[in-house]
Amino acid sequence: MKISAVVLTVLALLVSTVAAAMTPEESLKKNFPDIPFQSISPSEIKGLYEVVVPGRILYYSPDSEKIIVGDIVSKEMKNLTREKMSLLIAARLRQLPLDKALKIGEGKTIVVEITNPDCQYCRKSSDFLSRKKDLTRYIFFMPFSPESEAKIEYILCAKDKAAAYDKAMTGGLDDMKFKACGAKEVKQKIRSDQEILARAGVRSTPYFLINGQAVMGADMEMLERLLGPDNPPPATYFP
């Protein structure tokens, strides 16, 4: 019995030593092989690691071998998880192929806009942007229903896409009494936008990139601040 106890103790020590020798990344791969994580790095909390997966951030504790789902909030009530996610998405949005977007305007300030014509917050922010001078808007669409997809088709089929976009965003297509062209290339364009935005981690609308900063939702105060006279566009905006 004593020998067996000694053997078990030695085995337990060996197992714990092997576990301790694993890196957090190796531990995560071993315990959660089905999680398609993009990176893992130390978080603000000792022993807890930030795990970036498509569209969100998780946290992993190698010691307890558990995943934590949720946000880290500081005592100042700053959502640190959301801030980090915003930085990650901003970096990805700077890589978007702007030649694939609907372009409106020729201004100095570049605004990347991810929108949906049936989203009321998208309409509110679009109205705000339409009244701003000196903007170039690069618009990507993210439909969430057959109705919104039909409106997007209508916009992309139109000869005057800017006018069609304005009509959709001001409710002019809400009666659905219009005919979308249904062109194959337009449908492919909508699918392509969805794939591009999914890779960037965008999961909702509206979303913006202004002066290098990502803005989630119709945050009018932030939009006003970023587009105000105290925030001129940088000389080099996109790599």
Q: What is the pLDDT of residues 141-164, one digit of tens each?
A: 999 999 999 999 999 999 999 999
Cα–Cα distance between 85 and 104 in angstroms, integer? 28
Do 154 and 174 meet the contact criterion of CB atoms below 8 Å apart? no
Percent of the chain surpassing pLDDT 90: 61
Tokens of 205: 């609308």
Average pLDDT over the chain, rounded to an integer: 86
Q: Residue 59: how many CB atoms within 10 A of its CB?
A: 19
CA atoms within 13 A on the CB side of 78: 7
pLDDT recorded at residue 8: 52
Cis peptide before 206 (omega within 30 of 0): yes
Q: Where are the domains of the chain?
A: 22-89, 97-226
Return all residues near 80 (Cβ < 8 A) that are at least 6 apart: 44, 71, 72, 73, 74
Fold (topology level) of 97-226: Glutaredoxin (3.40.30)
pTM over 0.85: no
Return the closest-CA partner of residue 117 out of 160, 171, 78, 79.
Answer: 171
Q: In whole angstroms, give the CA distance from residue 217 to residue 128.
A: 13
Indicate whether 13 pLDDT > 70: no
Q: Which residues of 214-228 are buried (b: 16+ CB within 10 A; e: fewer)?
A: bbbebeeeebeebbe
pLDDT (tens digit per residue) in 112-136: 999 999 999 999 999 999 999 889 9
| pLDDT on residue 235 | 43
pLDDT band at 236 (very low <50, low <70, confident <90, very high): very low
Q: Higher-confidence residue: 67 or 182?
A: 67
CATH code of 22-89, in short, is 3.10.450.70
* pLDDT at 239 (0 to 100): 37
Q: Encode 182-211 in three state secondary structure.
A: CCHHHHHHHHHHHHHHHHHCCCCCCEEEEC
68 close to 48: Cβ distance less than 8 angstroms = yes
**Per-residue pLDDT, 181:** 85
Query: Residues 165, 49: contact at Cβ < 8 Å?
Result: no
Give me 212's structure tokens.
Answer: 């290098």
Nearest alpha-carbon partner for 207 in 131, 136, 142, 127: 142
DSSP string, 23-80: -HHHHHHHH-TT---SEEEE-SSTT-EEEEETTEEEEEETTTTEEE-S--B-TT--BH
Q: For 14-50, how does the pLDDT look when each residue is reduced to its tens digit (9 = 90+)? A: 555 555 578 999 999 999 999 999 899 999 999 999 9
On the question of pLDDT at 69 being above 70, the answer is yes
Convert the pLDDT of each residue in 166-179 to its tens digit.
999 999 999 999 98
Flag whether pLDDT at 234 surpasses 60.
no
